[in-house]
């Protein structure tokens, strides 16, 4: 067992991919000499050279398009887009090309590409650098979307992603890179699409992913002081999702709250809520609660940003409003 941060586990995953597949290469902005804007690719250029670790111009549409073409020709590109906000510049390449080529070619062509990118608020980066668009990509057929909250899953999900034959959007939260876990020495993979119960409980199901998992744990701790036992489910993947584990939890607790960093309007959490309402209506003791960021551009001010994103006070207030505890 070795204790690694998410940053270190991803660096390990990238090294494994480069060592085990001669067709793997990594490209993105500042990933080489600079070592990556979040230091995930630190040391890779010195070890693997510029043919494997490629610094790109600031042109997301260009280098994502180049990676898609390379993947169709038999290579296995890993692309880093500095933040998910910048992926909007490559939206056409990702949504209209990477996601569709396998289908539109009747399976004759594949796009085995991994696009790593960074989501979320909390870093006081302002309205254009603090958004959470992973739910957008999860709504697109042909894209798999994963979003780990801990180092164990970051490594395990990446190992699964590298074996996929079509595109995976690998979303990392900017505030979680320092999260540490004991990583097993033996090789393992984390299945894409399978949620995980982080804490077991009988009174309330809390569903979250990525940067909302620490908040879910805080909420659980506060509710436990009131003798409310909370079951925390980490989605881990947004597309696909095996809902059976979620349904089992809902049938046990009869109460559900979803934590989602996206805005209130059109959120992925609302989609999860609609599925639960449809499939588990007879088991629910009340409405499914969804707690989102407020419908405003993300403030730069630390005090204001903390009020906009889901926080412990709003979560506990919503739970009391819905269920009385």
pTM above 0.85, yes or no: yes
- B/e letters for 68-90, b = 16+ CB within 10 Å, e = fewer, are bebbbeebbbbbbbbbbbbbbeb
Read off the pLDDT band of 13 (50, 70, 90).
very high
Segments of the chain assigned to CATH 3.40.50.970: 2-183
- 164 labelled catalytic: no
CATH superfamily of 2-183: Thiamin diphosphate (ThDP)-binding fold, Pyr/PP domains (3.40.50.970)
Does residue 293 carry a pLDDT above 90? yes
Contact criterion met (CB below 8 Å) for 276 and 250:
yes
> What is the share, in percent, of the chain residues with pLDDT greater than 90?
99
> What does the pLDDT look like over 194-207, one tens digit per residue?
999 999 999 999 99
Which entry of 8, 29, 60, 261 is annotated as an active-site residue? Answer: 60
Residue with tokens 């690694």: 4
What's the N-to-C CA distance of the chain in angstroms?
A: 40
Segments of the chain assigned to CATH 3.40.50.920: 196-323
Q: What is the pLDDT of residue 274?
A: 98
> What does the pLDDT look like over 116-161, one tens digit per residue?
999 999 999 999 999 999 999 999 999 999 999 999 999 999 999 9
Q: Angle formed by the axes of helices 6-20 and 151-162, to 10°?
A: 20
Q: Which fold has domain 196-323?
A: Rossmann fold (3.40.50)
> What is the share, in percent, of the chain residues with pLDDT greater than 70?
100
Query: What mean pLDDT do residues 216-235 have?
Result: 97
Q: What is the pLDDT of residue 1?
A: 83
Q: What is the pLDDT of residue 133?
A: 97
Which entry of 97, 102, 129, 173 is annotated as an active-site residue? Answer: 129
CB neighbours of 7 closer than 8 A, spacing ≥ 6?
A: 38, 39, 40, 177, 178
Choose among 306, 245, 309, 303: nearest CA to 279. Answer: 245
Does residue 265 carry a pLDDT above 90? yes
- 60 labelled catalytic: yes
Query: What mean pLDDT do residues 54-63 have?
Result: 97
Q: What is the pLDDT of residue 94?
A: 98
> What does the pLDDT look like over 151-170, one tens digit per residue?
999 999 999 999 999 999 99
């Amino acid at each position: 067992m070795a204790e690694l941060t998410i940053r270190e586990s991803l660096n390990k995953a990238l090294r494994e991919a480069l060592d085990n597949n001669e067709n793997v290469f990594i490209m993105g902005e500042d990933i080489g000499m600079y070592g990556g804007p979040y230091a995930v690719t630190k040391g890779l250029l010195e070890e693997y050279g510029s043919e494997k670790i490629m610094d790109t111009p600031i042109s997301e549409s260009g280098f994502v398009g180049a990676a898609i073409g390379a993947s169709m020709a038999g290579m296995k590109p890993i692309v880093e887009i500095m933040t998910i906000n910048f992926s909007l510049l490559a939206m056409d390449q990702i949504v209209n090309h990477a996601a569709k080529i396998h289908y539109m070619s009747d399976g004759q062509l594949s796009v085995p590409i991994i696009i790593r990118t960074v989501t979320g608020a909390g870093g006081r980066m302002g309205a254009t650098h603090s958004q959470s668009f992973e739910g957008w990509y999860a709504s697109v057929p042909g894209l798999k979307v994963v979003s780990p909250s801990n180092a164990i899953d970051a490594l395990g999900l990446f190992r699964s992603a590298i074996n996929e034959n079509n595109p995976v959007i690998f979303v990392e939260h900017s505030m979680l890179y320092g999260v540490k876990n004991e990583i097993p020495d033996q090789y393992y993979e984390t299945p894409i699409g399978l949620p995980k119960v982080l804490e077991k409980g009988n009174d309330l199901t809390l569903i979250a992913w990525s940067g909302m998992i620490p908040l879910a744990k805080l909420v659980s701790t506060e509710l436990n002081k009131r003798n409310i036992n909370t079951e925390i489910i980490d989605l881990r993947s947004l597309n696909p999702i095996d809902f059976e584990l979620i349904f089992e939890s809902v049938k046990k607790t009869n109460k559900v709250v979803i934590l989602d960093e996206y805005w209130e309007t059109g959120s992925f959490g609302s989609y999860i809520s609609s599925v639960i309402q449809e499939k588990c209506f007879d088991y629910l003791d009340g409405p499914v609660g969804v707690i989102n960021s407020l419908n405003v551009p993300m403030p730069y001010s630390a005090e204001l940003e903390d009020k906009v994103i889901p926080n412990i006070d709003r979560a506990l207030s919503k739970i009391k409003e819905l269920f009385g505890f």
